[in-house]
Structure 1
């Protein structure tokens, strides 16, 4: 799947996306995905850009992916379907909304009201939603909620999770009060870097450099290695063409840029790589082995789950249980203690500051 990422800048015009879509379609991928990770599409811009993506896709199926951090993704998802996009990314509450994708329940019900046939069993997904709601409540995890429209997103265009992360890290160095300065500087840095699309890793490049500029008191006095590599063109040729030439010279004129110069990668035939790693692997497994350097042994894709319930039923069996109570007591005990003994009956005694209790 080739992603075509929506962004707002003087560079990212309708003609730009028409050309990018044609280039992506020429690769004959399985699908294309029109992606709005910043939640920036409005009904007006969706009506302007979506038909262009569809018209230039050469018949390749298109997916639509949008984040809800500006409140408009549920409606824009309906527009995507109206313009002929047949695969829409959603999420199951409480993992939906906020900085995530719109709720599958909202999107499916709205699509059905518009007359679309949607092959999704919402009753089964209700069980999934209930499970994750229970996990969130027990573990004290945040849940996604519908977001309000925020015009400032069109300035810095940082993903929602990254903004909150910046606030945390600035607070750790006593500079949380400078958050707005960093966001304002992000706008300037993005312009000087040539308006990169604000997704990983480019959003981190831009945001980190903006924070460095603000906290050091001098713009580009300190520059991250990633921004130097970006200016060298190691993340694509657009930087070498679109980046502000004065800023690019400032970035590349330092000694660190000389140290980061790398020889071009060797063009190794696929057959040679297969012979080096041995085995009749699928393309997917070969790629994993190349990226991890693993030549021998069997790949284990399962994560360690020791100490965690292995099934939905096991987790539900803990509902309202002693385990849940003990977790709460453990978080509240401070300098106190509790003890638990098991026999034919169960007894629990605990001692907390200002509280003593026993139970059978």
Structure 2
């Protein structure tokens, strides 16, 4: 693009090399290790193709963008990046969610269900009011999609998925599917319509008559970490 960013190119390459060293050390935890990824040098990039893509994108019209997309995929493929996967695009699955889903199915010995789960995710997300696929709702949607594929649609419903329908993660971007809500919600369930934090009780105002809670910090540890903090605090005050 002809823009001087003022960064040291040699230092950038040095950092990149160190990242690949870390990647090498973690290889036994990375299912795709050895299939993709290698250091990319400036000389590896087809500058003419990059400029062509930039010119098309700068036009900001649909026809030009559609023309630029295959060129971008071709460029990335030439740099040994993974090929574009339509299923990932349709499911709108982010990388972290995909790797978690892969590992969960692998541990269960049902990796062959991956494509079916990816196909199910958009429907589950729509049923849940199009919640964003970010932590923690991405994992909730992915897990529910897996349950649907393995057990039948909404035959098994996770508690976190029910929490979405009860509004415990806040208001969903779109209304939830009323037919699915009838399956998910139980009589007497309280539906929260406002900011989730507004329903939290002021726990720090309660009285805690515990021998190992002597300071505000002790109380926070007790509330946050439960039994783990209890063991620590009892040892701290010589009560165990």
| Match status 1:187 vs 2:122 | yes
Instruction: Specify whether residues 253 and 266 from structure 1 end up closer, same or farther in structure 2 by C-alpha distance, changes over 3 A only.
Output: closer
Decide whether the 8 Å contact of 2:102 with 2:111 is kept in 1.
Answer: yes
Say which structure, 1 or 2, has more relative contact order (CA 8 Å, 6+ apart).
Answer: 2
- Structure 2: distance between partners of 1:181 and 1:254: 32
What are structure 1's unaligned runs of at least 5 residues? 1-112, 270-275, 279-286, 298-360
Decide whether the 8 Å contact of 2:91 with 2:119 is kept in 1.
Answer: yes
- Structure 1: distance between partners of 2:107 and 2:22: 29
| Match status 1:220 vs 2:107 | no
Aligned pairs for 1:141-152 within 5 A: 142=33, 145=37, 146-152=81-87
Instruction: Specify whether residues 150 and 243 from structure 1 end up closer, same or farther in structure 2 by C-alpha distance, changes over 3 A only.
Output: same
1:242 is paired with a residue of what secondary structure?
Answer: coil
| Match status 1:122 vs 2:23 | no
- Structure 1: distance between partners of 2:216 and 2:9: 45
The answer for the alignment partner of 2:77 in structure 1 is: none
1:194 is paired with a residue of what secondary structure?
Answer: coil
Decide whether the 8 Å contact of 2:127 with 2:180 is kept in 1.
Answer: yes
The answer for the alignment partner of 2:184 in structure 1 is: 251
The answer for the alignment partner of 1:201 in structure 2 is: 136
Shift of 1:292: 6.2
The answer for the alignment partner of 2:165 in structure 1 is: 231
Instruction: Specify whether residues 151 and 126 from structure 1 end up closer, same or farther in structure 2 by C-alpha distance, changes over 3 A only.
Output: same
> What is the TM-score when the length of structure 2 is the normalising length?
0.55
Shift of 1:200: 1.2
- Structure 1: distance between partners of 2:9 and 2:85: 31
- Structure 2: distance between partners of 1:118 and 1:268: 50
Shift of 1:223: 0.9
Shift of 1:118: 1.9
Shift of 1:229: 0.9
The Cα RMSD (Å) is 3.9
Aligned pairs for 1:1-360 within 5 A: 113-115=1-3, 117-137=4-24, 140=27, 142=33, 145=37, 146-216=81-151, 218-238=152-172, 242-253=175-186, 264-267=199-202, 277=216
Instruction: Specify whether residues 213 and 140 from structure 1 end up closer, same or farther in structure 2 by C-alpha distance, changes over 3 A only.
Output: closer
The answer for the alignment partner of 1:342 in structure 2 is: none
- Structure 2: distance between partners of 1:182 and 1:150: 15
> What is the TM-score when the length of structure 1 is the normalising length?
0.38
Shift of 1:235: 0.3
Structure 1 or 2: larger helix share?
Answer: 2
Decide whether the 8 Å contact of 2:90 with 2:122 is kept in 1.
Answer: yes
1:238 is paired with a residue of what secondary structure?
Answer: coil
Shift of 1:246: 1.6
Shift of 1:137: 3.6
What are structure 2's unaligned runs of at least 5 residues? 38-80, 191-197, 205-214, 234-240
- Residues 148-181 of structure 1: CA deviation (Å, up to 9, x unaligned): 3333223211123433432343243342222222
- Structure 2: distance between partners of 1:172 and 1:147: 24
